[in-house]
Amino acid sequence: MSIIHNNSRGIIFSFDIIITFIIILFGITVFVFAMHNNTNLFVKNVDDFFLEEKTLFVADSFIKNFDPTNALLGACVVDLEKRRVKNNELTSANFSNLKSLEIEGFFVKRVSYRFLGNDREQIIYSSARQSKNCLSVKRFVLIDGTKALVLVEGCIDE
């Protein structure tokens, strides 16, 4: 008996395995790049959330609380009869003691307001620190009985 060796099927089978292996490696590479991109986006979203959260908290505290030591944490009018603050009602007399605020790399860069119908902006607090990653929040309030728009700009160190 003679055995005939046919190498053509072996070569085709080896070529199919190589092509399959390359396709699988390409798929794994695409998956790794996609996971890396998703991780980077997640980290960026966490940083953006931190900035947004802190800026919103400071803006809300500024217009809804009263703090005699730092008006940046509260500049509301206090109703002594009812023993509470009047939310969204500010008095310009409370703007005199605004001090800097820093929380875990977050700082307030600027606080300003402008009366509705007036384009002139009054800056009541400004920091010399610079940052490229900032967020501004606007709130409608009454300042000394007049409708106004308060702008609080918060930044994080890079």
Contact 114, 148 (CB under 8 A): yes
According to the model, what pLDDT value does residue 101 have? 83
23-61: burial string, b at 16+ Cβ within 10 Å, e else: eeeeeeeeeeeeeeeeeeeeeeeeeeeebeebbebbbeb
CA dihedral 42, 45, 46, 50 (to 10 degrees): 180
According to the model, what pLDDT value does residue 72 have? 81
- φ/ψ (deg, to 5) at 7: -80, -10
According to the model, what pLDDT value does residue 121 have? 87
Instruction: Tell me the two tokens of residue 142.
Output: 């009454």
According to the model, what pLDDT value does residue 26 have? 94
Instruction: Tell me the two tokens of residue 10.
Output: 């072996």
Which residue numbers in the chain have pLDDT < 50?
Answer: 1
According to the model, what pLDDT value does residue 68 have? 82
CA distance 143 to 153: 19
According to the model, what pLDDT value does residue 32 have? 93
Reduced to 3 states (helix: H, G, I; strand: E, B; else coil), residue 105 is coil
Instruction: Tell me the two tokens of residue 76.
Output: 């509301």
CA distance 92 to 111: 13
Please write the tens of the pLDDT for every residue from 83-118: 888 888 888 888 888 888 888 888 999 999 999 888
pTM over 0.75: no
According to the model, what pLDDT value does residue 50 have? 84
According to the model, what pLDDT value does residue 10 have? 53
Q: 155: closest CA among 122, 106, 112?
A: 106
According to the model, what pLDDT value does residue 94 have? 81
According to the model, what pLDDT value does residue 11 have? 59
According to the model, what pLDDT value does residue 25 have? 94
- Under 8 Å CB-to-CB from 58, ≥6 apart: which residues? 72, 73, 101, 108, 152, 154
Instruction: Tell me the two tokens of residue 5.
Output: 């060796």
According to the model, what pLDDT value does residue 62 have? 87
